Amino acid sequence: MVCRWFGICPLRRLEEKGKISDKWKKEYCSSENNWLNCKRYQFEEKGKYHPDNMLPNGEIDEKLE
């Protein structure tokens, strides 16, 4: 299984553009239930704003657009 947001998560676009490696996908998005620990996932569940350049660990990478 993968995270319920897998298909529409902005991280997919960043991966396709080669701006981030697939390590986040492996560690969170498609890792057994670990998406529950993803800050993006948690914010999404709470309806809390989070920018597209926020990574699963909560870090905001200003270099990413």
Token couple for 30: 């498609």
- Work out how close the CB of 18 gets to ligand SF4 at its nearest, in angstroms, rounded to a whole number: 17
DSSP string, 15-64: HHTTSS-THHIIIIITSTTGGGG-HHHHHHHHT----TTB-TTS-B-TT-
- Work out how close the CB of 11 gets to ligand SF4 at its nearest, in angstroms, rounded to a whole number: 5
Would you count residue 40 as binding ligand SF4 (CB under 6 A)? yes
Rule CB under 6 A: which residues touch ligand SF4? 3, 5-6, 9, 11, 28-29, 35, 38, 40-41, 44, 56
